[in-house]
Amino acid sequence: QTLLDMFTEKKEETAPVRIAISGWVDRIRRESKYMVFLVLRDGSNYVQCVLRGPMAQSLLARSLRRECTVCVCGDAVYDERAVTDVEVRGRTISLLGAAPSDFEGRVRVEGLEAFPHRHLLLRTQKYAKTLRLRSIAVHAFRNHLMGKGMVEVTPPTLVNTHCEGGSSLFEVDYYGKPAYLTQSSQLYLETACPAVGDCFCMLPSYRAEKSRTRRHVSEFMHLETEHPFCTFDDLLTVIEDMVCGVVDTVKAEAGPLLESLNQDVPSPQKPFKRMTHTEAIDWLREHEVYKDEEAKTFYTYGDDIPEAPERKMIDAIGEPVFLIKFPASLKSFYMKKCPGEPLLTESVDLLVPGVGEIVGGSMRMHEYGPTMDAFEANGLPPEQYHWYTDMRKYGAYPHGGCGLGVGRFLTWLFGLHSIKEVIMYPRTVDIISP
């Protein structure tokens, strides 16, 4: 039981409790020469402290400012006027660390210029809330998947293979040989299925994304799952259950905190609407979303749907949608073709309002012959993938899986504008520090 629980339950009946509290000065209000109110932040919560009389007049009290660290000893009492219903009536105060006077100015900067100050911004309410809620959500994902009996594995993130196409690879010098930061752990995750069955991993993936959008970063937390002997329908159910399950858990564990960040928390309903890529193109045509606004040309069935029209569509629909059966020409080499429709793949993107794609998944091509043909068609050297192609020799099995961008999921859940707001230190084409 925390001090706060004790006071909020027992209210006025509680006798004062002598405590010492160390923390950062979050707010100061100088009521008069003889009375100073401080709100201290110790990371776990906020608490109001009041300094009276000579304490308020001391040199120390007069020099205090935002972000100084102090230790206040005093009597904690219930007081519903205080931020967290507790007031600490200070008896002594000591300064642990001073702070310059420019904090407020540094955290008020906006746009790209704000990123050099991110380490200070983290202390402000919005970012502190996103860090805390992110932690709850990440645990909820793990608990959800482990609750289904799935095993978490840890593939390497330094690799010498592609997964999602050559254009977004970060190359590194690996002891004189080329290697890459992984784009996705999927291929390695597939190799764990014959050992442990359904499995998942949550690791960073890297993409050299040169475009500046509000949902692309160069490093993102990637939650990937893989399921032996599943069907395409099973895969969609796995994604639906996971997304709804985690939203419910975060609401149950931190509803008020989440609502203080997002007045319009999503309530996804199962089953999610399903729409084929063909139907999505039809939707864009019917709603006069043009491929070329000036020439008034329409999207056609083989076209990739870029971010802007995708978001226009999903915002208009206003609920999560499984976009399925993408043309093979738009998707990765490993995807299984639709039975009887060799130009289409058993693939899925989960779109949500405000963000667009948050999950990408598919059934995997699992027979040896077609897999080798796909390597050839995509110009991938099969020797480097010997461990991957071996899976098609040693007991091939139908399977599928998905990758969820944790940052994008949280952007949606928290109702924020940009993925950069839910990542502690985002990495983009413009940002590598702090």
Give strand pairing partners of 47: 40
Q: Left, alpha or beta for 412 (phi > 0: left; psi -120 to 50: alpha)?
A: alpha
Cβ proximity to Mg ion, 90 vs 360, nearer residue: 360
Per CB under 6 A, does 359 bind ligand 4AD?
A: yes
The answer to the question of residue 408 lying near ligand 4AD (CB under 6 A) is yes
**Count of CB atoms situated within 10 Å of the CB of 235:** 24
For residue 132 the two structure tokens come to 């805390």
According to the binding rule CB under 6 A, does residue 223 interact with ligand 4AD? no
- Burial code (b: 16+ CB inside 10 Å, e: under 16) for 57-66 equals eeeebeebeb
When CB distances to Mg ion are compared, the closest residue is: 360
Interface with ligand 4AD (CB under 6 A), residue from 66, 134, 144, 222: 222
Determine, following the binding rule CB under 6 A, whether residue 209 of this chain makes contact with ligand 4AD. yes
As measured in angstroms, the least distance from the Cβ of 78 to Mg ion is 52
Establish if 307 lies at the interface with ligand 4AD (CB under 6 A): no
Nearer to ligand 4AD, 245 or 401 (CB): 401
Name the H helices within 197-306: 232-261, 277-286
HSE (side-chain half, CA atoms, 13 Å) at 429: 10
User: Taking CB under 6 A as the rule, does residue 403 contact ligand 4AD?
Assistant: yes
Say whether 97 sits in a helix, a strand or coil: strand
Residues in the chain: 434
Per-residue burial over 311-331, b = 16 or more CB atoms within 10 Å of its CB, e = otherwise: bbbbeeeeebbbbbbbbbeeb
Q: Give the count of residues interacting with ligand 4AD (CB under 6 A).
A: 23
- Residues in contact with Mg ion by CB under 5 A are 360
Q: Out of 21, 72, 145, 163, point to the residue binding ligand 4AD (CB under 6 A).
A: 163
Place of tokens 């309903």: 269
SS3 of 401, please?
Answer: strand
* Span near ligand 4AD by CB under 6 A; candidates 56-64, 92-100, 215-223, 366-374: 215-223
402 belongs to the binding site for ligand 4AD (CB under 6 A): yes
- Does the protein bind ligand 4AD through residue 336 (CB under 6 A)? no
Q: Decide if residue 164 touches ligand 4AD (CB under 6 A).
A: yes
Neighbouring CB atoms inside 10 A of 341's CB total 12
Task: Judge residue 339's burial from the number of C-beta atoms within 10 Å of its C-beta, 0-12 exposed, 13-18 middle, 19 or more buried.
Answer: exposed
- Contacted by 309, from Mg ion, ligand 4AD, none: CB < 5 to 8 Å by type: none
Reply yes or no: is the peptide bond before residue 271 cis, omega within 30 of 0. yes
Task: List the one residue from 284, 361, 392, 399 that touches ligand 4AD (CB under 6 A).
Answer: 361
Nearest to 126 by CA among 353, 134, 220: 134
Shortest reach from residue 350's CB to ligand 4AD, in Å: 7
Q: Judged by CB under 6 A, does residue 48 bind ligand 4AD?
A: no
Provide the minimum distance between the beta carbon of 11 and ligand 4AD in the complex, in angstroms, as a whole number.
Answer: 46
Select the binding partner of residue 182 from Mg ion, ligand 4AD, none (C-beta < 5 to 8 A, by kind). none
Binding region for ligand 4AD (CB under 6 A): 163-164, 184, 186, 207, 209, 216-217, 220, 222, 224, 357-361, 401-403, 405, 407-408, 419
